Amino acid sequence: MPHPVPLDAPEVVEGVVDHLLYVSYDERTVLRLTAVTGDEEGITAVGRALFGVRPGESLRLHGNWVHHPRHGRQFRAEQCERTMPADERAIRFYLGSSMIRGIGPVLASAIVDVFGEQTLKVIDADPQRLLEVHGIGQIRLGRITAAWQEQKAIAEIMVFLQGLQITPALAVKIYTTYADTDDDPMRIVRRTPYRLCRDVRGVGFINADKIALAVGIPKHSDARLQAALLHELDQAGANGHCHLPVRLLIARTRQLLTDDDPASVEILDDAVLRQALAALHGQGEVVIETLPLPVLDGTDALTDTEIAMLPHRHRDETQLASHVRRLLTSTPALSGLAPWAEHVAALTGAETAGLTDEQHKAILTALTRPLSILTGGPGCGKTHTLQTLVDLAEQADAVVALAAPTGKAAKRLEETCGQPAMTVHRLIRPADGDSLFDHASVLETADLVIIDEASMLDLALARRLFAALRDGCHLLLVGDTDQLPSVGPGRVLRDLLDVEGIPRTRLTKVFRQLDEGAAITLNAHRILRGERPREDPKVFWNRPVSSAEDIAERVVDLVCELMPKHFGAGPEDIQVLCPGKKNVAGMTDLNLRLQQRLNPPSDDRPQHYHGGAAFRLGDRVQQVRNNPHRGETGVFNGSSGSISAVDTETHQLTVTFHDGEVATYPFIDLDELVHAYALTVHRSQGSEYPYVIVPMVSAAGMMLLQRNLLYTAVTRARHGVMLIGQTDAVERAIANNRTQRRNTALTHRITHDPAAV
């Protein structure tokens, strides 16, 4: 740890950010600053106040000099202010660092060569003079002028927000959100800051509240209380819940707003918060109902519960329930195509003689009932069952459509069944008339739709799927209920299994495993039974490591050197799967370390910093939210690929995804991407990798160290699994079978709410 050098008073240093040396998972930033005054040629600055700064920015830092035992003299920044560059060197660096869209390093040098220290004044006050620079014509002049005005507006917002510790990236998003509207972005920030919660992704209630209190909006204002209630409902969705009991919503909102101000007690009275909630209900921004729902205490008891939901989740849940009932009561399209009972009973050939009674039942049910479910763990014969089902249906000239929630799962399903498969999003995507292959037409003619990895279906995607199915179409949902639930709100597969009228088959027989992944399958079932996995010298290893820092270093060595050397697998064949994002050896930390080793900074690798992370040419990335308008046919949550281009002049980068989709991202939209050298186990669902490394750290906590999480991680691997970490973390995960319940009402709406639409 750094040891402060005694000083009489804090100091101030000014300079231009040359490059970032390190950004840790907890946002502590280390950078190299080129000083603009004094004898200092280069300064190493460190501190959380520096999070989010980018190369090329001019900074004024307030803090103290300290001495690090290994890295020497550093400036510990307690406060960071952004300033305009003053001398030629700073201006050249500023313009050439992609801060102003349309100006790259070469053009920046040309402009500064002509105007010197007057460059920024010329651009601001007399931009027509830029035509004096070789290479600038009227079109480029227009782009530069527009970009400069945009940057000035953004800078105004940045200056206002920097004292509130709100990152520059959010200032850019705020400006961009409102730039093409009749509203002035700065006026919105000052007068109606709680709008930002709803309009600007990433701002959230905490940041909006900082702004609101700073501009004098009272703590007891209706806008503040309502924004806090909506925030808690939104956070509940992020944790998988479709609704919250009103009493719990009130309690969480009170906790969110509680501070040391005695006046807050009156503001946070139950009656006041309920009045704010009632106002939201009256405005149509919250739905309030009383339903007989299970008590989340492990029992089957029901109690009348007053719940609150966001309107779009209420729509998704009620409409999904309606479409489930519609499908269940429709006439099966396959019923008249063949005597299915006789066909299934006749399955005695060499390839099908191994079918169990459970598999026969699953096949017959899928062919005779409009909705059915097939579940089972690894090695239980789901693959063989699906192959036989598809063959039988095609022999009767039935039209079969195959899909899965992710591209990798769809590819695996395609290989299993020997016919094309696609993602669920692409299967149900409405026709736009421009596509060479209209996926919507598949559902118009399909007799049987098979959805693999159905445990990944969240409420919104399931609603769209069921709504797209015509009456009589057969739907088979295939999944493993022992895996983690969907990333998005809901637990659709489990809720459907709780509806007695939906036929289901669970495959329970684990077939003898003869392939190289046998130990993985057997250990997965051991984990489910609460037993420790057994070592296998070829495919399953468990390496105890005591400290989190040692675990992180060991994981990097395994990915970059040891496993490629011993197994001939490239780093791209190895996926690190973490229980959580935070802490040492979490997803964020390991992504930073692995990027530094596998794709370090280089002159031939352009990059852009966003949110403290460098997005660099060649980086592995994953999409983290659905965007049907990105790329040619949309990019969806869980899609993975790599950065294939970074254009610092146009302020955008390109990602080529594994499914062939190519999508362009403006720099302000990079919060749609995360680095994918390491992923959370949740984000790996539906995917399969040759080798998986699972760092197990006790700091992840009981909420993450769960049996189904470890089981899901292990079942992502084909050829090898490495558990590396603290022994007690592995033991706690195996022992912890208390999966987090989710607040849903889908089962009730299907069975007791025929008026739902």
Task: List binding-site positions for ATP.
Answer: 379-383
- Token reading at 267: 């503001």
Location of structure tokens 């254009």: 647
The Cα 514–Cα 88 span in angstroms is 70
DSSP 294: E
CB 453: neighbour CB atoms within 10 A? 25
The Cα 641–Cα 661 span in angstroms is 9
What one-letter code names the amino acid at 545? V
CB-hemisphere CA count at 13 Å for 303?
9
The Cα 294–Cα 227 span in angstroms is 28
The Cα 511–Cα 192 span in angstroms is 62
CB 532: neighbour CB atoms within 10 A? 14
State the burial class of residue 135 (Cβ atoms within 10 Å of its Cβ: 0-12, 13-18, 19+): exposed
Q: How far apart are the first and last CA of the chain?
A: 61
The answer to whether the CB of 420 falls within 8 A of the CB of 426 is: no
Residue list for the binding site: 379-383
The Cα 750–Cα 757 span in angstroms is 11
Q: Which residues contact 269 (CB under 8 A, 6 or more apart)?
A: none
- Token reading at 562: 């040891």
DSSP 365: H
Location of structure tokens 């280390």: 30
The answer to whether the CB of 493 falls within 8 A of the CB of 455 is: yes
The answer to whether the CB of 272 falls within 8 A of the CB of 225 is: yes
DSSP 536: B
Three-class secondary structure of residue 73 per DSSP = strand
Location of structure tokens 């510790």: 165
What one-letter code names the amino acid at 637? N
The answer to whether the CB of 77 falls within 8 A of the CB of 90 is: no
- Token reading at 611: 């949110």
CB 238: neighbour CB atoms within 10 A? 10
The answer to whether the CB of 348 falls within 8 A of the CB of 377 is: no
Q: Which residues contact 91 (CB under 8 A, 6 or more apart)?
A: 85, 112, 117, 119, 120
- Token reading at 754: 């025929």
> What are the two backbone dihedrals, phi and then psi, of residue 504, each rounded to the nearest 5 degrees?
-145, 155
* Best CA proximity match to 575, nearest among 561, 588, 592, 558: 558
The Cα 234–Cα 228 span in angstroms is 10
Cα distances from 303 to residues 240, 289, 306, 483, 552, in angstroms, run: 21, 13, 10, 28, 47
Q: 448-451 and 474-479: which strand pairing?
A: parallel
* Best CA proximity match to 266, nearest among 220, 228, 218: 220
DSSP 561: I
DSSP 532: P
The Cα 492–Cα 462 span in angstroms is 7
